[in-house]
Structure 1
Amino acid sequence: MKMASVGFSGLIRGFKGISIDSFNVKNLVNCSRFFLSHCHADHMENIKGFISKARDNPDLRLFCTLESSIILRNKFYRPNWKHQDKNALESVIRTLKMGMSYTILVPEHEYETNVTVLPAFHCAGSCMYLFKRNDHRVLYTGDFRFQKHELANIRALHENNGATIALDTVYLDTTFFKQASNHFPSRKAVLKMIIQEIDDFLEKFKTGSVFITRPYYLGSEIIIRALSKKYKCPVHVEWHAYKLYKGIREVFPFITTNARNTFIHLRTRYANGKQTIEGQNALQVHASAMWYARNGKSRKWIQRDDQGRVKIAHSTHSSRSELSEFIKYFKPHSAVAISIPSGYSQKEVR
């Protein structure tokens, strides 16, 4: 297998006129079909420029999952938003169902491609895209996480007899493709650790506040649902997160903006300490894999200090070993790294 150089531009070989997770000026000139894998900011750079161009070019298309389309509307619609911008987004956005295949026309290059939408298990609405044109097959993972035992369940990447399909190129999420991130605990294991910390805290103090810090607004949906169901209360989130999740059935019923309706509070790493309710005991849980990936000396998935703070290695990206197993299992002819791990060079990733 060949490993191509790092520095993903949004363009995929053999599919002219298509851009994925990139709305840069060059792609806005050369492409008419845009795909969004999920709604994290680093995958939506210059999307406002795309919306502005859509006002003058209604033939543009933006393809994404239903959940991502809801998040886009929640994120960009404002009472003072220009009417033409709202209409422009509505005119070009096309929602795709998970697990379904579609025939997409690329008019400026006069060809059609088949696109299959696959779950990525990264955050709400996240997906992978499998492109087929003639006998050429390309998989774009976006940000994703799969464990070895889950690979056989990706039906669209297998033939009817169970053999893996032939993949020409995989565009791979290499966010944690580094030795320090060789293994992460499973999401199920992370939930058990968080629940155990909360149970121990409640047994000791009976009452108090639990603050769970996560790196981004999107990506903690499994934690939200699990804790809400376990402790029979909503999870308090910031107003911005509440607005993004509005209409997402798997998350919205389990959250609140009223901090006094619950003892569980979810906040980003950018939030300050003013959310702490004075006079109450507090457990602080930092659920993120970045601290673990940056600390090459520690191999413990959970760390505690004497001030009630706990760090847990929670990752929505595949670990280095999981990426290796993914490549070994599907055996693509070539792979393109779409991100560079912190502290690594392009040469090291290659």
Structure 2
Amino acid sequence: MNGTIIPETPIAVDFWQSRRCNHVRLFFLSHMHSDHTVGLSSTWKHPVYCSPVTAKVLKHKLQVKSRWIKPLEVGQCHMLPLDDIGKETVTVTLIDANHCPGSVMFLFEGYFGTILYTGDFRYSPSMLDCPPLKDKSIIDVLYLDNTNCDPFILLPSRQEATDQIKEIIEKHPEHDIVIGLYCIGKESLLVELAKTFKSWVVVSPQRLELLKILELEDVFTVDGEAGRIHVVDQSEVTYVNMVQWNRVCPTIAILPTSRKVKVWHRAVHVVPYSDHSTFEELTEFVSRLKPYSIIPVVKTQQCEPHFKQYLRFRKEPHKVNIPESVKTFMKNQLSKGKEEALHLFKAPFPKRAARGVEFESPEKRPHCNVGSCSIENNQESMAHLSDTEADLEERQEIGVTFMSTRNAQMPLCESTVIEHNKDRTSLEISTSYIGDSSEDNILEMASTIFWSPKHRNGTLISETSPEVISVIGSKSSTPNSTLSITYLDLQEASHLPILPLKKQTNFGPQNFHNQVEKYFKKFDTNDELC
């Protein structure tokens, strides 16, 4: 990220980390390249000062609300307040940076002295021959674009690089030309190529929309058959795409960049076209400007040692006296930011609903009070359940019938209906279709039946029913049932869909029979259930 907070001031340029700049009042944007907009988004809620062209692109690309975008005319002096009461101000002048559409340099003048922030720029002598830099004899601090600040990097001028690109295209008259670019920048190169080769420049609909905002010459189209020059994102120039493009038509790719690029296809041409100042241009710029100090824009590289001989010398270090109104503003803003951060940190977590299985007493179950299926009506037919668990283990057969469904899918186990038959001595489970209400004494259990191999006594556990159903039926079918009843022995029952018991605990459906047993122990064991 390229950007900075100017020390001892409430001013930030290309810096959008709001938590680190609570004291800042004025935010400036030099241009719309992504490395200068990190942290700037549609949720931004502070005034942003920039050039009119950048203001349009900012609203289009990042959807920043118009109320926060403050365009300033290039070449004019603007006075902005540095505090809440308007007592202290700063004068800022925007200077064309010759980098990309809308890019500017900022010249700040105030109680801190004179500061020139170049951002990304490509030097030309006219910058120092015209006001306001022509009239400024003293620059206290120079924030310098040091992208190409290396004496061993030799780069041509942009016109020379443009001529190289033209030569490559002329050598391939039968080829389509693919040019890889970033989202914004080098539009002047495209216009010149279109005029030279009398061809439309084919771009994507998104790029065309942006080019219309920039109000460039009408040489762009989205019709892929209209011209032989095609513009794509630089990341799209890959080996796979080059192979595919050449299958359709002979194609070459051109990457106009000064960055180091590994060439992995013979049809890819890298041309050192740069929108950043070369080392020779930076030397001329600094030698003519003669600032007192230099701070690099790209913080990973040092540049001041290369230009030390061109700097002005001060007998005493420059001291900045911050006005009281500005001090008060920055202090209040810092306190406000800390309070907001502390409030967020101490904010209680929202209460969440408890998770798990909730069991209720059988008397509170609404379906347990329905007709013949109430506890009182079932006590007589379930008298044999008062036997001990050891007696139940002696049972050798289990009669089980699952309800067939026509219109519903059962994910794990099937739902069942319980039929109370007073003529039989045991409780049976009969089957019927869902929605079959031909008999009044049928209760549908909208629950899941679980069977575990750990319970070899043939106990079926219901998720919602409090009863423990031990099915001990004879191997005879009920002739009047809607469907034939199937009886499975214990060995066949082991193949039923089961819910795995990963951990034996005293909680959950797999131990529901223990809870029911405790419930029935409340009754007098000497008396029969009736």
> Shorter-chain-normalised TM-score: which range?
0.7 to 0.9
Match of 1:12 among 6, 13, 28: 6
Q: CA deviation at 1:187?
A: 0.9
Q: CA deviation at 1:237?
A: 2.3
Q: How does the TM-score come out when normalised to structure 1?
A: 0.78
What letter is aligned with 1:211? V
**What are the within-5 Å matches in structure 2 for residues 36-185 of structure 1?**
36-48=29-41, 51-54=42-45, 60-77=46-63, 89-108=65-84, 110-133=87-110, 136-147=113-124, 149-159=125-135, 165-181=137-153, 183-185=154-156
Q: Which residue matches 1:285?
A: 254
What whole-Å deviation, never above 9, does each CA across 1:310-342 have from its counterpart, x for those lacking one? 22111111112221221111000001001046x
Secondary structure, aligned partner of 2:195? helix
Q: CA deviation at 1:289?
A: 0.2
Identity of counterpart residues, as a percentage?
A: 23
2-side partners of 1:345 and 1:192: how far apart?
A: 32
Asked whether the equivalents of residues 8 and 337 of structure 1 are also in contact (C-alpha less than 8 Å), the reply is no
Name the CA shift for 1:28/1:165 in 2 (closer, same or farther; >3 Å). Answer: same
What letter is aligned with 2:122? R
What letter is aligned with 2:166? I
Name the CA shift for 1:9/1:310 in 2 (closer, same or farther; >3 Å). Answer: closer
Name the CA shift for 1:313/1:221 in 2 (closer, same or farther; >3 Å). Answer: same
What letter is aligned with 1:67? V
Name the CA shift for 1:52/1:152 in 2 (closer, same or farther; >3 Å). Answer: closer
Larger % of helix: which?
A: 1
Q: Which residue matches 1:259?
A: 224
1-side partners of 2:90 and 2:97: how far apart?
A: 21
What letter is aligned with 1:117? L
Name the CA shift for 1:277/1:66 in 2 (closer, same or farther; >3 Å). Answer: farther
Asked whether the equivalents of residues 61 and 92 of structure 1 are also in contact (C-alpha less than 8 Å), the reply is yes
What's the C-alpha RMSD, in Å, of the aligned pairs? Answer: 2.8
2-side partners of 1:278 and 1:17: how far apart?
A: 57
Q: CA deviation at 1:201?
A: 1.6
Larger % of strand: which?
A: 1
Name the CA shift for 1:347/1:248 in 2 (closer, same or farther; >3 Å). Answer: closer
2-side partners of 1:145 and 1:9: how far apart?
A: 18
What whole-Å deviation, never above 9, does each CA across 1:182-230 have from its counterpart, x for those lacking one? x31111111111112212221xxxx33011123x221111111111222
Asked whether the equivalents of residues 296 and 302 of structure 2 are also in contact (C-alpha less than 8 Å), the reply is no
Q: CA deviation at 1:277?
A: 6.3
The number of residue pairs the alignment matches comes to 302
1-side partners of 2:268 and 2:112: how far apart?
A: 53
Secondary structure, aligned partner of 2:213? coil
Q: Which has the higher contact order (CA 8 A, sep 6+)?
A: 1
Q: CA deviation at 1:245?
A: 2.6
Secondary structure, aligned partner of 2:171? helix
Match of 1:330 among 282, 289, 298: 289
Name the CA shift for 1:74/1:45 in 2 (closer, same or farther; >3 Å). Answer: same
1-side partners of 2:214 and 2:203: how far apart?
A: 15
Asked whether the equivalents of residues 179 and 231 of structure 2 are also in contact (C-alpha less than 8 Å), the reply is yes
What whole-Å deviation, never above 9, does each CA across 1:270-313 have from its counterpart, x for those lacking one? 11417726432222212110027xx9xxxxxxxx9993332211
2-side partners of 1:24 and 1:257: how far apart?
A: 37
Report whether the alignment pairs 1:231 with 2:166: no
**What are the within-5 Å matches in structure 2 for residues 207-218 of structure 1?**
207-214=174-181, 216-218=182-184
What whole-Å deviation, never above 9, does each CA across 1:36-82 have from its counterpart, x for those lacking one? 0000111111112xx5352xxxxx321111111111122134xxxxx
Q: CA deviation at 1:236?
A: 1.7
2-side partners of 1:208 and 1:248: how far apart?
A: 29
What letter is aligned with 1:38? H
What letter is aligned with 1:194? I
Name the CA shift for 1:8/1:111 in 2 (closer, same or farther; >3 Å). Answer: farther
Q: How does the TM-score come out when normalised to structure 2?
A: 0.53
Name the CA shift for 1:254/1:70 in 2 (closer, same or farther; >3 Å). Answer: farther
Asked whether the equivalents of residues 236 and 256 of structure 1 are also in contact (C-alpha less than 8 Å), the reply is yes
Q: CA deviation at 1:152?
A: 3.8
What letter is aligned with 1:192? D
Q: CA deviation at 1:234?
A: 2.5
Asked whether the equivalents of residues 100 and 117 of structure 1 are also in contact (C-alpha less than 8 Å), the reply is yes
Q: CA deviation at 1:156?
A: 1.2
What letter is aligned with 1:209? D
Q: Which has the larger radius of gyration?
A: 2
1-side partners of 2:67 and 2:265: how far apart?
A: 55
What letter is aligned with 2:58? L
**Where do 5+ consecutive residues of structure 2 fail to align?**
309-530
Match of 2:25 among 27, 32, 48: 32
Higher mean alpha-carbon deviation, 171-180 vs 265-274, is at 265-274
Asked whether the equivalents of residues 17 and 108 of structure 1 are also in contact (C-alpha less than 8 Å), the reply is no
Q: CA deviation at 1:151?
A: 4.5
Name the CA shift for 1:63/1:27 in 2 (closer, same or farther; >3 Å). Answer: farther
Name the CA shift for 1:245/1:119 in 2 (closer, same or farther; >3 Å). Answer: same
